[in-house]
Structure 1
Amino acid sequence: MAEKQHLYLVDGSAYIFRAYHRLPPLTNPEGTPVGAVYGYTTMLWKLAQDLDDADGPTHLAVVLDKSSHSFRNDIYPEYKANRPDPPEDLVPQFPLIRDATRAFSLPMVEEPDVEADDMIASYAYAAQDAGWDVTIVSSDKDLMQLVGEKDGAKIDMLDTMKDARIYIEEVQEKFGVAPELVGDVLALMGDSVDNIPGIYGIGPKTASKLIGENGSLAAALDAAPDMKKSKLKERLLEGREMAELSRELVELKSDCPLPIAIEDMKLDGIPPEPLADFLETHGFNSLLKRLEAGTGSPGRTTNLNPEKADTKGDEGTPDGNIQPLPEWPDVDRSAYTTVQTEDALKEWIARARDLRVVAVDTETSSLDAIAADLVGVSLALGPNDACYIPLRHGGSDMFDEKPEQVDFATAIALLKPLLEDDSVLRIGQNIKYDINVLARHGIAMGPVDDTMIMSFDLDAGRSQEGIGGGHGMDELAERHLGHTTMKFKDVCGTGKKAIPFGEVPLGKATEYAAEDADVTWRLHAHLARRMPDEGATRIYQRVDRPLIPVVAKMEREGIKVDRAELSRLSETFAETIGRLEKEIHKDAGEEFTIGSPKQLGEVLFDKLGYKGGKKGKSGQNSTDQSVLERLSGEGHAIADKVLEYRQLSKLKSTYTDALQEAINERTGRVHTSYSLVGAQTGRLSSTDPNLQNIPIRTEIGRQIRKAFVPESGNVLLAADYSQIELRLAAHMADVPELKEAFEQGEDIHSRTAKEMYGEVDRDTRAAAKTINFAILYGISRWGLAGRLGIEPDEAQEKIDTYFQRFPGIQSYIHSTLESVRAKGYSETLFGRKTWFPRINSKNQAERQGSERAAINAPIQGTSADIIKRAMARMLHALEAEGLNDVRMLLQVHDELVFELPEDDVEKASPVIERVMAEAAQPAVTLDVPLGIEIGTGPSWDDAH
């Protein structure tokens, strides 16, 4: 036992709701909802593991709310009155969550008429008075009042969601005051969740400032009469009574009787028997397997060891693990090697070439692969068989002592044959980044596998949270290996104290970098075994894996932008924004911050008295786009001006200003970063900068696209799939009328207008186009009504008519939903799965949202698969025709953008068209042709 007693108090009530919202609905063998129970159990399990891996508690208890009533309701009947009743499917899980706590053989505290926070406060102070350290496992701001030290005994907090400790410094950073004054700040600002009134109009910053300047709530209220006349003074004077009441409500009761003595909360171990019975009863098979892997010596909580776990479960489990892990040793960072000599590097390279498989990771100076400097490389050949090769370590000062390391040029020359060898498979996590970093040093990496993309092809949509949509290394290591990785911030620090990775001591750098390679190797071995059994091999090998080097090359190519034109547009936009601001202020009769939804709402609905103001939970009127468009339709000119003001402000900051900053100094071009896992349906997403959301149909958007230009002597070529999703819908839903229209080259929207309205004109075609796309996105009668500007009943008639004219579409929707409800996922024509864990949710909004997405996912996903296949084939096809100077630069949804010499346009255009038109073949033969539209010009806009 540790010399000093350390009590951990787990805020179990917070765990319950986190677990409920984190996981999809599940039922046990008896049909009882257990999604929250499963989540609570895994969170408690992980906590036990993490705590024992650290210094570990000597004593631990879980604290729960006994009931919804407390003494605070007697003081203020409206306390927590705003809180909705618990979800219907959560209520029967409350007793089961208590059973879960007992199954862990952990002390559980719940008392009537007080809240869990009060019991936590009482136990925390009792333990502190006894000289114990206390950690409260929670992120609840109310509990931050307890943080502090007394006679050497500390009370701190642990936020498990952020893996962060909260002590005095963190509380002061959040509230601007010491922990003992947090209650005063809370009393001033109030709390809408708990319905604590506070003083209306005083937010966190003002509350913190008042308490900080005056030293207490009482002092701040007493100082109000002497303040200069202001709105704040009025609020303080008028709201004193409410503030004092609020202070009483936020005060934690710390003298509650303790039903269990702190000495009896000793953590001696977790007997496996009751836990095993509980897990078996509720069908938590993957957790049961983990427990069975550690039943040899129950001991302390460390025996709940997911690192050695058999994580097998059924395909519908939230974590997606259906294959057991091999008997690997736990991750041991002390086993890693720092490679500092040529002989040692040659030995690692020789071993890697013998094994034919090596995990690779690079450490760099920046997240921008095109601009980053290479600092070091790590390799892994098996579990704990990993090394780090420092290349540019040492301080930035020329006089700083450099650690021993292989000469940079020598190391690159030695690594190049290994990394380019076609007979060696290189494994990476987001290896596209490493490909681009190494390409700058003359290394053209050979065949690769990417664990991030493998995870995506297995589990897209299944994970509800996490980095990279649930496919980042940290989350994958936690989910599949039961291992918590080192964090970059723990190695390099944060904020002003942060240091470059090249200045990290080699021992620590090796632990961090080699662990990345080690974990990647383990993930690959695990995911590769899952892929054939779960049907992910086809989509990975035929669509996503071949795309990795192609997208990497596109990122390196970048695209040229006309800085002068962007600057001119920024100035023009700024002038227009300034003019609009003056006109809006004139129309409003006062100056205000147009970008503030609160102030804008007050002007539109309180001062100008426009009808239809709709206040949200924050108490302020909504001023979103739909509200402004409605006001515009009613003839209110100020709404038109605000809409234009917002659009110009966004385009200026997001594009005309930001693109100038994004120009790479070395290449003179803008290099976006594409994510192959950014959208659940498989579409590529673009970031830093995002080049996929520039408006194409507005004059302003076209002006921005005109700033994208080729190098001298070249032109830009844009090749766009024409109405590909409607074509795929005609094929997948087997709609004869639509297939016939596409085969004959008809305008599909005109054909729909003829079917729907009996005549074709500008208005009916526009309405038909809206309906065509809206139906494929599972739109509701209310959604369609809003888009067409008609009543919901009339919109429903349009939907009914559409299904009568095209019954195949309705059949497709019904069969798709039935399949997804039964299997949990949708599939594209190429086998890409998208999971919808909330498709059977009892929460109507969650369920309907999943249904809408599930209807469109197979179509949009197939469209994404097709353009990816075209991209993967494109450069080979162009090279085969001797068109080596044609460069593929951008992918924007259904469009590919190329740069090429003007003399090559005539020869390249048919090649590009053919590759795109035949991209689905031979894997899939479509009943409709894929139409391709190609244009060229001196700018991206001109190419359309």
Structure 2
Amino acid sequence: SEELELTHLVGVDHVDQLLHLLEYRGSQKESLEEVVHRFDFESLVEEYGLDSSPEPQVTLKQDYELVLKKDFTEWCSLLASKKIFSFDLETTSLDVHKAEIVGFACCFDDEKAYYVPCGHVERADDQITKEELCEALKAILENPEVKKVGQNLKYDVEVLLTHGVHVRGVWFDTMIAAYLLHPDTGGYGLTQLAKEHLRYEMIEYNEVVQDGQLFSDVSLAEAVAYAAEDAHIAWLLYEKFAPLIEKYELKRVCYEVENPLIEVLAAVEHFGMRLDSTLLESMSKDVAIQLRDLEGRIYGEAECEFNLNSPKQIGEVLFDKLGISTQGVKKTKTGYSTNQAVLEKLADEHPVPALILEYRGLHKLKSTYLDSLPKEVSEVTGRLHTRLNQTIAATGRLSSSEPNLQNIPIQTELGRRVRAAFIPSEGSLLISADYSQIELRLLAHLSGDEALIDSFRHGIDIHERTAREVLDIPEGETVTSEQRRLGKTMNFGIVYGMSGFRLARELGISVGEGNDYIERYFGRYPKVQQYFDSLEKQMEESGEVRTLLGRRRVISEIEQGARDRNFVKRAAMNAPLQGSAADLIKLAMIRMDRVIREESLPLTMVLQVHDELLFELSMNSLAEGNVQHYKLRIQQEMEGVMELSVPLSVGVSSGDNWEEAHS
């Protein structure tokens, strides 16, 4: 019966986990009050007997000054005397290549802030021009000894790059600081941070800029109130967050990694990549033919036509018309699930599920990449400019958006061909530098496991060794490719907290065998097990774990109580490894940027994806023989960025497109 099946599924092994979830851990009133007021769950205040009023909204002392042409020179002298200030640009667009600078706001004390208009319609003759602004501030903004503070500074740095100003000395981004302090919460916008940390309600953009207007249309009185407030609040948040960064021992990751990275990311995004749109258009036409062919085959096998993009209709065809069993298939509001896992499971029972999977893969590739990427090319630069985000992934990894270049499928030949459309500038070559097995090397270093360390120090194939250890393959006997695949799956799976069930699904073996392999793995690498146990204990006791450079991954007591123990365990195991890998690749970006600038190397960093950095090498003034020299130079710099108990390994290759360079 269904009840007996449920009892069987839960089993004795899961009772401890269930009891753990049901445990009463006492009232966490302060944490609950913070959540309730932060997310406006005011209906819960009375129900749980909470404090009905958060800290009162404050009125800040504000002395905001408009700086017009007649006072600009004197004001510049004042700014030049400061060693640190916050600043914010007002512009006409979020697109950094189209944005015209309308004004410059700055602040360097608790009450006074300034706004220098340079593009407003009102009183245009009384304002300096944007060219005069950039020329006057260039020396200050490009001086690395003068510390710059702000909110989401990458945007401002990119806009200034467009106008010929290379900002140096980025010291403190309040958005980054909020993220480092609370990497799991999200919501790092200036308005929310002001409300949450200063109890202050900021002026909203749509309060001053009406529909159809640009900021240049806003009156100077409204503009100074809005713009100077931005710089002022950023300054106050800096004063609030800086001591917290020190208190929570985040200084290294804040001042040596994340903030210096802002200038690097701004340059990478701003330069962008060249795209062969003609190749993608040709591929799109080919895929359209394949999709039509697949449609015909699916309809023929199903003996009816239906909407291949409708999960509901697919479910009706598979389970009602074709009579495929629904046993083990989850039921949703619209019918039985037809997600990828379900279709993969059903593929052996009928040809249609496998054909639908193939159709979906091709359809997604066509819509997401072949058809969409050419539309993302900037009409200003003729290049593709992805955004590399620092505050999305809780682990510290960069994420890519608009477009996302991290999820291009490379398991298939067609997916790999998409990367062939990313090409260098005319007269240049692409160089790919990719860290090898970085998380496994970090695991060896952090756990101190002698067998892992020995493998990396002596250049032993770690996947072959794991297969040999787990499967008891004697020395001298060849490890097959299938056996090595098991070793590779285990090595990378263990890093992500893979269960015996997941391993069994990946390898097509029984759950019992999967559990047995994992047990044997930890038997061969005992310090890895000890290390993971210590992380789990640390997470349960303190609610956080740290990377090599001190980055935090925080899971509150409320979250630990609400989520199952396996989630907490996986997060504890994974965060220090993924986070340390993130820290390492970011340090590599900072180092490479500095070396390229200081030595005027003919290299430009154009992209970061996972553990890979992509560079353009200008061939215009280079002999062919110099390519190897620069590849070796990149490898040496990246391998020397962090000293571990095992050597870092970077594979470097070059080519006329991204796919060729990555091969």
* Shorter-chain TM-score above 0.5: yes
Structure 1 residue 486, shift from structure 2 partner = 2.4
Structure 1 residue 668, shift from structure 2 partner = 1.8
> Are residue 933 (structure 1) and residue 651 (structure 2) matched?
yes
Residues in 2 aligned to 1:622 and 1:377: alpha-carbon distance in whole angstroms = 53
Query: Equivalent of 2:343, from 596, 618, 628?
Result: 628
Partner of 2:181: 458
Structure with greater Cα Rg = 1
Query: Equivalent of 1:337, from 60, 65, 76?
Result: 65
Partner of 1:754: 468
> Are residue 583 (structure 1) and residue 583 (structure 2) matched?
no
- One-letter code aligned to 1:794: E
After TM superposition, list the pairs within 5 Å mapping 1:71-86 onto structure 2.
Answer: none
Partner of 1:723: 437
> Are residue 305 (structure 1) and residue 56 (structure 2) matched?
yes
The 1:674/1:844 distance shift into structure 2, 3 A limit, reads closer
Partner of 2:49: 99
Query: Equivalent of 2:577, from 838, 841, 859?
Result: 859
Residues in 2 aligned to 1:97 and 1:658: alpha-carbon distance in whole angstroms = 49
Partner of 1:658: 372
The 1:593/1:504 distance shift into structure 2, 3 A limit, reads farther
Give per-residue Cα distances to partners, 1:856-907, cap 9 Å, x unaligned: 1101111111111111111333455552x21111111100111113534121
Partner of 1:389: 116
What's the secondary structure of 2:608's corresponding residue?
strand
Partner of 2:147: 425
- One-letter code aligned to 1:478: K
What's the secondary structure of 1:99's corresponding residue?
coil
Query: Equivalent of 2:229, from 515, 522, 530?
Result: 515
The 1:840/1:353 distance shift into structure 2, 3 A limit, reads same
Partner of 1:801: 520
- One-letter code aligned to 2:60: V
> Are residue 470 (structure 1) and residue 187 (structure 2) matched?
yes
Residues in 2 aligned to 1:705 and 1:536: alpha-carbon distance in whole angstroms = 37
> Are residue 357 (structure 1) and residue 90 (structure 2) matched?
no
- One-letter code aligned to 1:895: E
- One-letter code aligned to 2:98: A
Contact 2:560/2:568 (<8 A) preserved = no
The 1:380/1:756 distance shift into structure 2, 3 A limit, reads same
- One-letter code aligned to 1:791: S
Structure 1 residue 98, shift from structure 2 partner = 4.9
Partner of 1:371: 98
Residues in 2 aligned to 1:704 and 1:741: alpha-carbon distance in whole angstroms = 35
- One-letter code aligned to 1:488: Y
Partner of 1:12: none
Residues in 1 aligned to 2:212 and 2:325: alpha-carbon distance in whole angstroms = 52
What's the secondary structure of 1:681's corresponding residue?
coil
What's the secondary structure of 2:81's corresponding residue?
helix
**TM-score for the superposition, normalised by structure 2:** 0.89
What's the secondary structure of 1:689's corresponding residue?
coil
RMSD: 2.6
After TM superposition, list the pairs within 5 Å mapping 1:202-221 onto structure 2.
Answer: none
After TM superposition, list the pairs within 5 Å mapping 1:251-650 onto structure 2.
Answer: 304-307=55-58, 330-331=59-60, 335-339=63-67, 341-394=68-121, 404-448=126-170, 449-461=172-184, 463=185, 469-493=186-210, 497-612=211-326, 614-632=329-347, 634-650=348-364
Structure 1 residue 738, shift from structure 2 partner = 1.5
Structure 1 residue 348, shift from structure 2 partner = 3.2
What's the secondary structure of 2:627's corresponding residue?
helix
Residues in 2 aligned to 1:529 and 1:34: alpha-carbon distance in whole angstroms = 26
The 1:747/1:382 distance shift into structure 2, 3 A limit, reads same
Residues in 1 aligned to 2:469 and 2:570: alpha-carbon distance in whole angstroms = 24
Structure 1 residue 691, shift from structure 2 partner = 1.2
Structure 1 residue 416, shift from structure 2 partner = 2.2
Query: Equivalent of 1:792, from 511, 526, 529?
Result: 511
Size of the aligned set, in residue pairs, is 629
Residues in 1 aligned to 2:361 and 2:214: alpha-carbon distance in whole angstroms = 38
> Are residue 888 (structure 1) and residue 626 (structure 2) matched?
no
Query: Equivalent of 2:629, from 902, 907, 921?
Result: 907
Which is bigger in relative contact order (C-alpha 8 A, separation at least 6)?
A: 2
Contact 1:37/1:97 (<8 A) preserved = no
> Are residue 770 (structure 1) and residue 493 (structure 2) matched?
no
Contact 1:909/1:934 (<8 A) preserved = yes
**TM-score for the superposition, normalised by structure 1:** 0.63
Residues in 1 aligned to 2:187 and 2:48: alpha-carbon distance in whole angstroms = 29
Contact 2:97/2:380 (<8 A) preserved = no
Residues in 1 aligned to 2:145 and 2:34: alpha-carbon distance in whole angstroms = 44
What's the secondary structure of 2:313's corresponding residue?
helix
Structure 2 unaligned runs (5+)? 1-20, 474-478
The 1:580/1:718 distance shift into structure 2, 3 A limit, reads same
Residues in 2 aligned to 1:716 and 1:505: alpha-carbon distance in whole angstroms = 48
Contact 1:821/1:839 (<8 A) preserved = no
Partner of 1:184: none
What's the secondary structure of 2:613's corresponding residue?
strand
The 1:635/1:478 distance shift into structure 2, 3 A limit, reads same
Give per-residue Cα distances to partners, 1:92-131, cap 9 Å, x unaligned: xx9x83533xx65xxxxxxxxxxxxxxxxxxxxxxxxxxx
Contact 1:877/1:911 (<8 A) preserved = no
Residues in 1 aligned to 2:536 and 2:43: alpha-carbon distance in whole angstroms = 41
